[in-house]
Amino acid sequence: MKKVILYIATSLDGYIADKEHRVEWLEKLENPDSNDYGYKNFLSDIDTLIMGRKTYEVIKGFGTEWPYQHCRTLVVSRHPELAIDTPNTEVFSGDLFEEVERIKNVWSDKHIWLLGGGITTRSFLEHQCIDEIMLFTAPIVLGEGIRLFPEFRKPVRLSLLENWSYPSGMVYSHYKIIKD
């Protein structure tokens, strides 16, 4: 069955981007082995992406070709008139959790990548719509920025599936969400 997976990198102090929503700090980290941290393998199991509007704008701002052309991408926004100019991408402003269930039951057996940002992630956690978290903790303290988990109303229990570190100092933790 299809899973919703939050695959994301964070600073040691829990930020996914700096206060200007930039992620250049990730590219500046040492990576002596040029490791992709399983990204290509992960992406081969994905056919749907869900991201917030700000995340969409940040990725478009990289100035490169849209990296997710092979996937259907839903950009979550309260503004259905948001201009979209990337392949296989649409604005979604309806009942997102109903749509996620439809995607899980209708589309292929590949998974859904919840790409961010913080508010969208919080909403998915609160509605128990995330099945797994694949978290990469970078060896950097940003001090401020966009939190991975902005305040939310109830605890979320996790079960650790696997955990290891890389020579770069990056730490990978893979969790399953324990749902009520």
Where is pLDDT greater, at 113 or 30? 113
Tokens 């092979």 -> residue: 70
Task: Kindly report, residue by residue over 154-165, the tens digit of the pLDDT.
Answer: 889 999 999 999
Look at residue 97 and tell me whether its pLDDT is greater than 90: no
* pLDDT cut 90: percent of the chain above it: 54
pLDDT score for 136: 97
CA distance 9 to 171: 10
Reference 11, options 22, 3, 158; nearest CA is: 22
Q: What are phi and psi of 96, to 5 degrees?
A: -60, -40
Look at residue 131 and tell me whether its pLDDT is greater than 90: yes
pLDDT score for 113: 96
Q: Can you give the chain as a three-state secondary structure string? A: CCCEEEEEEEECCCEEECCCCCCHHHHCCCCCCCCCCCHHHHHCCEEEEEEEHHHHHHHHCCCCCCCCCCCEEEEECCCCCCCCCCCCEEEECCCHHHHHHHHHHHCCCCEEEEEECHHHHHHHHHCCCCCEEEEEEECCCCCCCEECCCCCCCCCEEEEEEEEECCCCCEEEEEEEECC
Look at residue 107 and tell me whether its pLDDT is greater than 70: no
Question: Binning pLDDT at 50, 70 and 90, where does residue 86 land?
Answer: very high
Look at residue 28 and tell me whether its pLDDT is greater than 80: yes
Q: What are phi and psi of 71, to 5 degrees?
A: -115, 155
Task: Spell out the domains of the chain, with CATH numbers in brackets.
Answer: 4-63+96-178 (3.40.430.10)
Mean pLDDT of the chain, nearest integer = 90
